């Protein structure tokens, strides 16, 4: 059964990799997405955890990554790597750092400043998914 949500045609659950160093942020985003039918979430602490999930996952549809992460990569680097591994992935970069600007994120990515609510998150997912679809076309 096809379902339309946030401008997306959802025919299966979308797998979302959520990457942050703050367990409360991971939990909050996970709770927002779990409350909406159509998402399966994977939580990762830091860039090392995210890289491990990316190596082991069959497919990831969406990555939501904080800019500043523990480990050897920033969230921006991680999103670039995700795009290389999953050409159709939707990318959302989040941060509370006022020094980070949207011009620094991958071209097809969506920038979301913390704190944000569930509705803003879903809008960002819709925009990122549309941009990913355009990039892969």
Question: What CA–CA distance (Å, rounded) separates 70 from 64?
Answer: 15
Which pLDDT tens digit goes with each residue over 34-47?
Answer: 888 889 999 999 99
Per CATH, the number for 3-136 is 3.40.50.2300
Which pLDDT tens digit goes with each residue over 56-86?
Answer: 878 899 999 999 998 889 999 999 999 999 9
Which pLDDT tens digit goes with each residue over 78-87?
Answer: 999 999 999 9
Query: In 3D, which of 33, 37, 31 has the Cα closest to residue 11?
Result: 37
Pairing relationship of beta strands 62-66 and 14-20 according to DSSP bridges: parallel
């Amino acid at each position: 059964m096809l379902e339309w949500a946030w401008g997306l045609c959802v025919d299966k659950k979308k797998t979302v990799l959520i990457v942050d160093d703050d367990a409360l942020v991971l939990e909050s985003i996970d709770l927002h997405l779990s409350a909406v039918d159509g998402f399966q979430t994977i939580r990762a602490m830091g860039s090392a955890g995210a890289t491990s999930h990316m190596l082991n996952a069959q497919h990831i549809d969406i990555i939501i990554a904080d800019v500043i992460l523990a480990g050897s990569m920033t969230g921006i680097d991680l999103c670039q790597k995700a795009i290389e591994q999953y050409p159709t992935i939707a990318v959302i970069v989040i941060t509370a750092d006022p020094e980070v600007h949207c011009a620094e994120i991958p071209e097809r990515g969506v920038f979301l400043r913390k704190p944000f609510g569930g509705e803003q998150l879903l809008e960002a997912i819709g925009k990122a998914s549309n941009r990913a679809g355009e990039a892969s076309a």
